[in-house]
Structure 1
Amino acid sequence: MIPIDGQEKKRVAIYISQSDEKGTYPARRAAMIAHEMAEEADIVFLCGAGSPPAPDGFRTVSTVNSTAFLQAITAMRPDLLIRDSGSTFREEVEQIRQLVPTIIHFDDFGDGGTLADLVFQTLYAEPNDKVLDHYVVGIESFMADEKLLSLKQIGLRKERPGPLPHLVISFGNEDTGNLTYRALRHMMQLQIPLKVTVVVGEHYAHDTSTLRMMALGRRNTTILEHPHNFTEVCADADVILCASGYMPYEVAVMGIPCVVLAQNEFELGLAFPKEQHGFIHLGLGRKVKQSSLLNAVMEPLLHEPLRKKAIARQAALGIGDGKDATCEAIRYFLEYPKRQTGETVGNAAFNMLH
């Protein structure tokens, strides 16, 4: 949907709010969509108290609370709203429907999603009931950035781990429950040669000096703080230990044996990072036993058939190419909106103020 010269671009509002310790992926996903659509639509980011910064070069409107959010929507009258803010409430979405012709949500487990026009449920649980027709559930909507795609299925090209296998530990941007510390403490008990890289998120909520003191007690152990080239660090790993949110999707793009610990009950209920997809899922991280964790990490390093089986299962998923289909859906709804709100005053007011 490329606008004709002189024709006003349609406006897309994007609202991202950090929730459920989902890390940086929602912001990166929004940036990929914004850059892909920038030439054909007017992209505006709505940023609240829990929002990551908008990508460089895009307009931003501050929405400090739900009232300000609705006021901004009323003023700007976007043609389409993309929302990635965790579970939403029906009452709020009912209000937004009166203002916006089309609403698209990402990873919404709330009842507000039932009133959206399209919901991409990349994170998903095993459904107890029939899924509504406007929900797109599964890995097909996962979009990898160019850096990650350049390393797609790198695990298929790797040789068997050498005399110093590489374990990468990462529990996201904040790691509220400090599974990083718990995992490293358990790894200290391994008596075999092992290179360990602990990747600490930008907003790690705990004291890194404790990790550094532990690392001094074990050879070939590194604490890597932000900024870092996270994707390349993971691509070098022989096995990855991580949370069960979005990171297993990124791991599956690369094809690397992976042990998963859930950070909370929300992550525990997610259906993707399981054995049939090439993962070893040990349940809630705060409850994992040391022996279980050490055995799980060593399995793909000591048993070549298990390593190859895990990589093959991940590679068979064909994951990572969701950007094109997602953006095509956005283009379709811009061309054929679900509702006609019949309001033009808001657009004029928004353009005067910004």
Structure 2
Amino acid sequence: MFNNNKILVVIPAKGVSKGIPRKYVRLLNNKPLIYYAINIAKSSQYVDDVVVTTDDSEIASISEKFGVSVIRRSKELSGEDIPLDAVVFNAMVQKEKSAFDEYDIVITMLPTSPLLKTQTLDNAIEKFDDFSLESVISVVEDKQLFWGYDDDNKIYFPKYIERCNRKDLPSSFRETGAIIATRRGFINEISCIGENIDVIELSDEEAITVDDFKDWWIVETILQRKRIGIVVNANNEIGTRRIDNCLAFASKLVSHEFLFILDEKHKLGQNLVEKFGFNFKIYNGHDAIYNILEEFAPQIIINDVSDTTEEYMSDLKEKGYFVANFDDLGVGSNLADVVFDSLYEHDLSDTNVYTGQKFHILKDEFYFQPHKVITQDVDNILIMVDGNDPKHLSEKFLEAILSTTYEMKINIIVGRGYENIEQFISNYESNPLVQIYQNVPNVSDFMFKADILVTSASKIMYDACALGVPTICVYQNDLETSHVFANSANGILNLGDVESLTKQEFVNQFLELVNNHDLRLNMHNKMKSIDLQHGYENICAVVTEEYRKFAMNK
């Protein structure tokens, strides 16, 4: 009841529907379509009664199970040409007879708008605070350059005055049928609308009407959409590999709503996310993370923050979140619902851990690059060490290569935090064969042109493998020794720990690869046999199944 006005919602639902057969009883995201209109109406703080008017026994039975009254239509009101007004009027009268009472406001809700919000329905009802108002109808803004057709002259004609950008067109609105609310005295067999009318404007999403299978697919996708919080960071010290991973993941999350949660101190991460146009919020301390999560209310949290602590993960799980971590060797990883690690070795008894290259997500730029063609001659070397290269391996590799008989192009790509980059560039600016780059946005172009890549045992190996570029790698630290992908079976020439690798050993292996076309071709073919195109799909398959189990046990 609103302002002493007793309110009835009438939901008309015929058994026969043309666009989608039996659509009102079909399961939309595991619930009959008609359930949504019933639930919206019953959840209103103002609606007193809800009645479904139908000519179909299955619709009637399902509606009664959801706790509403049902009016069985007579044959006279079941024909295709019967106006909606007569059906609503009949349902209202029948309901009033059974209730021995009259309603003050009657709302027609077509059950084809399952994304309508209960708050929107209540907002429409509140408009009747204006006693002069007779009806409220739902509309959606529809600015378009509309055209009409003259049947007599058989010509098309513009229905606009002046061609202009959509944002500059005059406001125009289209009825949605989700809400037609009218005072009782203005409802009869030929009309459900009064003369003094106001509108309630719906969002584009709420205004979607399920008329055909395309609409059904769109609505079901929206209903299945999850809110995902992504906790990740990037700065000059830790580099951008983790945030690059999350940006690549987020760029494919078109069916879900997500929010990046970034450390206030890490401006680099904020700049990268802003450049992509994704939403983000910043935090200062773990308490601030929890505040952001409480406001955003995600169902899923993704952590790509290196090693998580038990305290942090315990807090997330106590708050009821489904948690997925990436590349996490911390003690907190045991508490995650799933952990994806495309490089590091894990205890095989950890049933929540999914490892291997099948769970690597390529950056978008690597999806559309063709495979490298392996030529007889080597004319282009690329040196690229992961992170900020604290041991200056890039320069050591360069010096070693320059000491050989190789006399063709050498490109070096270093990270944002590479120390003394100006001095590094200055040392080799007189050498026309050497080019040093920092903060390169199009790494795949450089890698595709390279005949050999020299790198560390990091995820850069996956980039090279995706293009089939023969690769030499070394372990630059103890952590990289657990990167199991770095082996000859995957087309990688692994020279082991850099601390125990002599310059001459590197030179010998480098020259062997430069001069052995068959070896490079063999490495290339091994790389081509590895599927790195479906990491996102593989991760989503695991998360979907594990989240289903998680939701069932909540």
Task: Tell me the equivalent position of 2:250.
Answer: 34
Cα distance in structure 1, aligned partners of 2:239 and 2:509: 24
Larger radius of gyration: 2
Q: Distance in 2 between matches of 1:258 and 1:212?
A: 27
State which of 13, 29, 33 in structure 1 corresponds to 2:229: 13
Q: Judge conservation of contact 2:382–2:411 (CA < 8 Å) in 1.
A: yes
| Pair 1:12–1:66, CA change in 2 (3 A) | same
Count of residues in correspondence between the two structures: 333
Contact residue 413 and residue 440 of structure 2 kept, 8 A:
no
- Stretches of structure 1 lacking an aligned partner (at least 5 in a row): 342-354
2:529 pairs with 1:316: yes
Say if 2:383 is the partner of 1:169. Answer: yes
- Call closer, same or farther: CA 1:117–1:283 in 2, change over 3 Å: same
Structure 1 equivalent of residue 98 of structure 2:
none
CA contact (8 A) 1:200 1:226 kept: yes
Q: 2:399 aligns with which of 182, 185, 197?
A: 185
- Could you tell me which amino acid in structure 2 is paired with residue 36 of structure 1? K
1:123 maps to 343
Higher relative CO (Cα under 8 Å, sequence separation at least 6) belongs to 1
Q: Report the identity percentage.
A: 18
Correspondence for 1:114? 334
- In 2, the alpha carbon distance for the partners of 1:6 and 1:104 equals 22
Q: How big is the shift at 1:231?
A: 0.9
Task: Tell me which of 298, 303, 311 is aligned to 1:83.
Answer: 303
Q: How does 1:119-158 map to 2 (within 5 A)?
A: 119-125=339-345, 127=346, 129-152=347-370, 154-155=371-372, 157-158=373-374
Q: Distance in 1 between matches of 2:236 and 2:219?
A: 38
> 1:264: Cα distance to partner?
1.5
SS in 1 for 2:251: helix
Are residues 29 and 188 of structure 1, via their aligned partners in 2, closer, same or farther at CA, if it must alter by over 3 Å? same
Mapped partners of 1:228, 1:31: distance in 2: 13
**Residues 248, 364 of structure 2: 8 Å contact kept:** no
- The Cα shift of 1:21 comes to 7.4
SS at structure 2 position matched to 1:73 = helix
Gaps of 5+ in 2: 1-28, 30-217
CA distance in 1 between partners of 2:234 and 2:457 (Å) = 16
* Preserved CA contact (<8 Å) 1:13 1:80: yes
CA-CA distance at 1:14 after TM superposition: 0.3
Shift of 1:202: 2.6
Q: Residue 501 of structure 2 is aligned with which of 285, 288, 305?
A: 288
Asked if the contact 2:259/2:281 (under 8 Å) is kept, the reply is yes
Q: Write the distance in 2 (CA, Å) between the matches of 1:172 and 1:69.
A: 29
**Hey, what does 2:314 align to over in structure 1?**
94
User: What CA distance in whole angstroms lies between the structure 2 residues aligned with 1:227 and 1:137?
Assistant: 29
In 1, are the aligned partners of 2:338 and 2:543 still within 8 Å (CA)? no
User: Counterpart of 1:274?
Assistant: 487
Q: Are 1:72 and 2:287 an aligned pair?
A: no
The CA deviation at 1:19 is 9.3
Instruction: Report if the CA contact (8 A) 1:80-1:101 is conserved.
Output: yes
Provide the rounded CA distance (Å) in 2 between the counterparts of 1:136 and 1:8. 24
Aligned residue in 2 for 1:45 = 260
Partner of 2:513: 300
Indicate conservation of the 8 Å contact 1:80/1:100, yes or no.
Answer: no
Distance in 2 of aligned mates of 1:118 and 1:160 = 45
Bigger Cα displacement from structure 2, 328-337 vs 45-54: 328-337
- Tell me if the contact between 2:235 and 2:269 (Cα under 8 Å) persists in the aligned partners: no
Matched, 1:210 2:424: yes
187-196 or 87-96, which moves further after superposition? 187-196
* Cα offsets for 1:251-301 (capped at 9, x unmatched): 111111111122221112221111221111222334431111112222221
Question: What displacement does 1:241 show?
Answer: 0.5
Residue deviations 1:301-342 (CA, integer Å, cap 9, x gap): 10122112211221222223211222344455566644877x
Measured against aligned partners, the alpha-carbon deviations of 1:164-204 in whole angstroms (never above 9, x if no partner) come to x2110011342222211222222221133232111122332
Following the alignment from structure 2 to structure 1, what is the Cα–Cα distance between the partners of residues 539 and 246?
11
Counterpart contact for 2:489–2:526, Cα < 8 Å: yes
3-state secondary structure, aligned to 1:37: coil
Equivalent residue number for residue 259 of structure 1: 472
Q: Is the 8 A contact 2:239 2:416 kept in 1?
A: no
- Mapped to 1, the partners of 2:331 and 2:532 lie a distance apart of 28
Secondary structure in structure 1 of the residue aligned to 2:446: helix
Instruction: State how far apart, in whole Å, the 2-side matches of 1:166 and 1:292 are.
Output: 21
Is 2:412 aligned against 1:198?
Answer: yes
Q: Tell me the TM-score normalised to structure 2 length.
A: 0.55
